[in-house]
Amino acid sequence: MDEAGSKPSWLERLSALLMREPEDREELIEQLHAAFERNLLDADALGMIEGVLQVGELSVRDIMIPRSQMDVIRVSESVAHFLPFVLDTAHSRFPVIGRDKDDVLGILLAKDLLRYFADPDAFDLRDSLRPAVFIPESKRLNVLLKEFRSTRNHMAIVVDEYGGVAGLVTIEDVIEQIIGDIEDEYDFDETESNIIRDHSGRYRVKALTEIEDFNAALGVAFADDEYDTIGGLVVSRFGHLPKRGESIDHAGLRFQVIRADSRRIHSLLVERLPEADTTEQPAPAA
């Protein structure tokens, strides 16, 4: 047998490394990291395996979009009134509410609005709603993912122990815990610039954009002595890891998080505040 034919595959080498059954989860993780260090696994594969293990330990409350950040439509609103909101947020599904966010009547799929354009007079928002699925905060993510797959639902409304709406979660949120952030048609392409100006004059900015490049593009003067990226600067101003939809005003600019997961933010929507000074001011002395 030639040398090439006798060389064990990466799967055989990994199996040999894991031949001794680990005593607990921590030891399993150690063995997987050892496999990575020996080039038996690449970083993506290791991250996905760790993500799968993590999903079994996380519950819905760990990843849900909180109630305050839910993008909803009121059933009393006309399509003409909420259509700009649908276009701006670019979601594929929206909870439709009655009196408040505890009164979720159903889920509107953005594609169902095509019926409105076909015949505006015949369109009825209530008749276009899909049933909402309600789940407890304590539901495990692995169980939820199985339910999403079996029922073909992509969104669930999360309720607390008193029956009030606590937030929402989507199948994308769960899958991102395993494979990392998912790009969609509204995300940056890998070949595109880190900073893109849209027709309204706002900027879509990748969080990993270096502050020096951000300053040059927007004509501002943020210091880069503490943080290298605009994402790092924004997170520091929030004081916590923000979720999608959160926004903060700083130095004459409004930063809104448009893509994020439980680990980091990915992209921002940046707009200038009217007649504001965009030079970063030093922190006040203690």
Question: In the prediction, which pLDDT does 177 show?
Answer: 74
Give CA–CA dist 206/48, Å, rounded. Answer: 23
8 A C-beta contact, residue 153 and residue 147: yes
User: Among residues 269, 132, 123, 114, which one has the least CA distance to residue 187?
Assistant: 269
DSSP one-letter string for 116-142: HHH-GGG--TGGGPBPPPEEETT-BHH
DSSP one-letter string for 197-259: E-TTS-EEEETT-BHHHHHHHHT-----SS-SBHHHHHHHHHTS---TT-EEEETTEEEEEEE
Domains and their CATH numbers in the chain: 60-179 (3.10.580.10), 195-272 (3.30.465.10)
Q: What is the dihedral of CA 87, 183, 269, 98, to 10 degrees?
A: 40
Give CA–CA dist 61/13, Å, rounded. Answer: 38
Confidence of residue 185 (pLDDT cuts 50, 70, 90): very low
Residue 180 is which amino acid? G
Answer whether residue 136 shows pLDDT above 80. Answer: yes
Answer whether residue 256 shows pLDDT above 70. Answer: yes
* pTM for this prediction: 0.56
Mean pLDDT taken over the chain:
80
8 A C-beta contact, residue 165 and residue 102: yes
Residues ≥6 apart with Cβ < 8 Å to 283: none
55-71 pLDDT, tens digit per residue, is 677 889 888 888 888 89
8 A C-beta contact, residue 204 and residue 258: yes
77-112 pLDDT, tens digit per residue, is 999 999 988 888 888 899 999 999 999 999 999 999
Q: What does the pLDDT average to over 177-191? A: 53
What distances in angstroms separate CA 277 from CA 54, 193, 209, 255, one per listed residue?
Answer: 44, 26, 22, 15
Question: In the prediction, which pLDDT does 132 show?
Answer: 94
Answer whether residue 170 shows pLDDT above 70. Answer: yes
Report residue 119 as tokens.
């015949």
